Amino acid sequence: MTANQRVGAYGICRDAAGRFLLVRASARSTVPGRWFLPGGGVEHGEEPLDSLGRELFEETGLVLHAATLRGVLTDTLTRPGGEPVHAIRLVYAVERWEGEVRPEADGSSDEATWFAPDAVPRLAMPYVVEALERFS
């Protein structure tokens, strides 16, 4: 079995009311129903910040204007089927964006919602809780 690495860029978006924007994994994902930060895999040759902008728009409809790298989280996980993965997550503070939040159409997520800090769903991926505690 081959071990893989996956590099992703994720954004902590906080609105004027202090709420965090999370997206819910769709049935097309490997973790349906779980909540995560907007973002995703960095494609070969892609700048991580460009990846964040692409993923933020795909998943939420927001256009990224400014973000700052806040930190890096790493962990290992096993995908369905037994494939081990070393996940490297670049976590950005999204400082400026424009647009109205809307869910992704027919993608890896199916909902985008603002949550008060004390209401981050218990179904949030473990890295989300760690990222919000360490980098927001």
Q: Chain-wide mean pLDDT for the chain? A: 94
Q: Is the pLDDT of residue 127 over 70?
A: yes
pLDDT at 78: 86
Confidence of residue 2 (pLDDT cuts 50, 70, 90): low
| DSSP code per residue over 45-62 | T--HHHHHHHHHHHHH-P
C-alpha to C-alpha distances, 49 to 26, 27, 81, nearest whole angstrom:
24, 27, 31
User: pLDDT tens across 46-64, in order?
Assistant: 999 999 999 999 999 999 9
Query: Domain total for the chain?
Result: 1
Phi then psi dihedrals of residue 55, to 5 deg = -65, -40
User: pLDDT tens across 111-122, in order?
Assistant: 999 999 999 988
> For the domain that residue 74 is a member of, what is the CATH number?
3.90.79.10
Average pLDDT on 68-76 reads 97
Q: How far apart are CA 20 and CA 116, in angstroms?
A: 6
Q: Is the pLDDT of residue 76 over 70?
A: yes
Provide the domain limits for residue 115: 4-135
Average pLDDT on 100-120 reads 94
